[in-house]
Amino acid sequence: MKSVIKYDLKTPVQFIKGIGPRRAEAFANRGINTVHELLYYFPFDYFDLTQVSEISSLRRITDTTKRISVVGSIRAIDIAGRPPRRKCVITLGDATGTISLVFFQNANYFKSAFQVGEMLAVSGKLNFFQNRPQFVHPRIDRLEVGEEDNLKGFLHTKGIIPKYSSGEDFRNLRITDTVFRKIMKEVVDNFVEQAEEFFPESFLKRLNLLPLPVALRNIHFPETVEYKNASRYRLKFDEWFCFQLLLAYRKMKTKIQTPGISFNVKSNLARKLVDSLHFKLTKAQIKVVKEIANDMSQPKQMNRLLQGDVGSGKTVVALIAMLIAIDNGYQVAFMAPTEILAEQHYKTLAQFLREVNVNTRLLIGGQRKRLRDDIIGDIREGRANIIVGTHALIQESVEFANLGFVVIDEQHRFGVDQRAELVRKGKESVNVHPDVLVMTATPIPRTLSLTVYGDLDVSIIDEMPKNRKQIKTMMLAEPESDQLYTMIRATVRKGQQVYIIYPLIEESEKVDLKAAVESYEMFRDAIFTDLKVGLIHGRMSSDEKDQVMEAFKAKQLHILVSTTVIEVGIDIPNATMMVIEHAERFGLSQLHQLRGRVGRGAEQSHCVLVVPDWLARITKRQTDNIEIFDSPNSNNINELERQKARLTDGQALTRIQTMLATNDGFRISEVDLKLRGAGDFFGTRQSGLPELHIANVLDDGPIITLARQEAFQLVADDPHLRNQEHQSLRKYFFEKLKTSLTYIDVG
């Protein structure tokens, strides 16, 4: 430090020893301008050298469930065995002995990724092969060349060393890992005491939270693993607490301040619908109908999320609520994210409403002007009771007569703004806020609904209709197609129908479509010549698609070959077999949705995941001690790319395994989120998730729950944070609003 005392947390980083103007610029490119921001640039991981074992001691280890770490240099790298059992074996040695690191997957990658002489820190569970200990796919950290000395110090003290993500720009400025740590040490030593605590002491005590300066010191240079964890906990808590505080305010505002319509929930239309159903509502459906009706009867705006696995019967629940609104003289808008889905909902509603006199209209893009004008007229004059549509509903030209109830399907594909826009249209037409019901076909973990949908009340349909049998899922390797054809024939012989799905993604649309069409022709002309085979894909016109779907529904087709256009909304109980070709190319929730197209009737249904031979082999061979997601710490872009490819394979494997293991949509979405990350799953900005530094929606369940409880309690106790002991928090919170929480609609 050039001169310590005068500086504070707002000091620009170039005043720190080791940071000149050019390095300051590199930091600035990552949004780090001040000492404070540098303090909040947390390690993405640590080398935990507190548990490092000497290699010679591993022979004596009997517990193969515990993670073990060793540090050593690479003595040899070999490829052994023949395909498909080819493996890469790295021999790692320290002063006491050597051990093998074995890689079955991507052997070539591992051979080329490492070099003899490199220092590695390795950890994993031990595995004994011919009585010799070895690691199979362990976690690997590369230690920097020239860092041995530095590490020896740590090794000696068996410390925990932080790892900061750097990158090409940093390395060009010779900010190596070692240099980075030195800079951080400097900053922590000189500034951490200046970080001002914003929670009252009693609060810290009660929740067992570390004081802020202690947490900030130990997040960078933990004294022990316990301190590291406690620091992470405290800093994660801070982020969630602020976010939940914001949600608490938002919710308070809608709950208390937003007047809504007090619907009379005794509805003849709804009664008539329920009486016309050929099934009884499940207990779970009745429970959520009650929750919704109760909200609707209140003179406040309803903001409720309706969650339930695919096939749990959300549509009929939403429809009951819609009919209540219509009976009270209001219009209902039902917004879906895609045209196919909107059309599908429109048809489903029409089916349900055959015996109920309600005027339902469909508004989507690309309709002819005459028709469109007619629909818009019906909406404006109040002749349309239910308007199903895409975001075409929020165009300027659409004016509602009296929109009192809004249903939004698959909300996370819409921006928060689009929801607000439809609500605004309602408010314009009826002068109070319409009630809002958000439906999602993607079950999401509860903690995530507490964040993404944090300002909504949640109703969950946690029970499937009774007559359903669990869908049986199996995997077949491509070469096993004879077996597949036999199964298909057996299904058709029972009078049931079969879907065969092909992947189609934008990047390779042409090739994909060709593959689907060619397969269709092969089935029709060569394999199932005695059966009726149909084809449907997104490039066909609406009329063509309708014709094919109608034919399938009428059982005029035995087999329907399709691209993913039938992912959601299709409801044909007589179809009992879902074959997904190239299942490895589909996302997990997509697979789950596709599987949800069968199992809709009383018959036993099957889902067959067809995958390449190699994937089938690995899936069958997979053992617990191959850790797919542990990957070497990369230091160059090329390697990152290769890792990504490897990871993708690993992910495909995990997706298939998950599908084979469970039918539970909540569990599946949890895995999907882990694979894709919340940002990708929802699109961070769209969903209203804040930018998170250290918090992670997937890991922080209990912290989120606690932060939520505390934040909501605080707002209840001291709504304006006037209390003397809340002044620091108040200041901190508003500072945070100005920076990282700004884009969330506070108003």
Residues at the site binding ligand ADP, with contacts judged by CB under 6 A: 279-282, 285, 308, 310-316, 441, 465, 571, 600
Q: Is 345 exposed, middle or buried (0-12, 13-18, 19+ CB in 10 A)?
A: buried
**DSSP H or E segment with residue 709:** helix 701-717
- Least CB distance from residue 408 to ligand ADP, whole Å? 14
465 binds, among Mg ion, ligand ADP, none (CB under 5 to 8 A by kind): ligand ADP
Binding of Mg ion by 260 (CB under 5 A):
yes
Distance in angstroms (rounded) separating the CA atoms of residues 586 and 314: 25
217 binds, among ligand ADP, Mg ion, none (CB under 5 to 8 A by kind): none
Judge residue 536's burial from the number of C-beta atoms within 10 Å of its C-beta, 0-12 exposed, 13-18 middle, 19 or more buried. buried
Which does residue 69 touch among ligand ADP, Mg ion, none (CB within 5 to 8 A, set by kind)? none
Distance CA 58, CA 133 (A): 7
Rounded Cα gap, residues 162 and 48, in angstroms:
9
Over the window 281 to 310, marking each residue x when it contacts Mg ion by CB under 5 A and - when it does not, the resulting string is ---------------x-x---x--------
Tokens of 198: 């914003």
Residue 260: which of Mg ion, ligand ADP, none does it interact with, CB under 5 to 8 A by kind?
Mg ion
Least separation in angstroms between CB 317 and ligand ADP: 8
Helices and strands in the chain: count of H runs, count of E runs:
26, 21
Q: Hey, what are 451's tokens?
A: 């964040």
Q: What secondary structure does DSSP assign to 247-291, as a single string?
A: HHHHHHIIIII-BB-------HHHHHHHHH-SSPPPHHHHHHHHH
Q: Which is nearer to ligand ADP, 68 or 284 (CB)?
A: 284
Strands 67-80 and 119-129: antiparallel
Shortest distance in whole angstroms from residue 297 CB to Mg ion: 7
| C-alpha to C-alpha distance for 101 and 120, rounded to whole angstroms | 11
Instruction: Find the part of the chain contacting Mg ion (CB under 5 A) among 36-44, 374-382, 435-443, 739-747.
Output: 435-443
Pick 162 or 443: Cβ nearer ligand ADP? 443
Rounded-to-integer distance, Cα 334 and Cα 317, Å: 13
Question: Which CB sits closer to Mg ion, 439 or 659?
Answer: 439
**Least separation, in Å, of the C-beta of 312 and ligand ADP?**
4
Long-range pairs for 6-12: beta carbons < 8 A, 24 or more residues apart? 7/35, 7/190, 7/191, 8/35, 8/191, 8/194, 9/34, 9/35, 9/36, 9/39, 9/191, 9/194, 9/195, 10/34, 10/35, 10/36, 11/35
- Total residues interacting with Mg ion, rule: CB under 5 A: 5
How far apart are CB 314 and ligand ADP at their closest, in Å? 4
Q: How far apart are CA 527 and CA 521, in angstroms?
A: 9
**226-264: b or e for each residue (b if 16 or more CB lie within 10 Å)?**
ebbebbbbbbbbbbbbbbbbbbbbbbeebeeeeebbebe
Contact positions vs Mg ion (CB under 5 A): 260, 296, 298, 302, 435
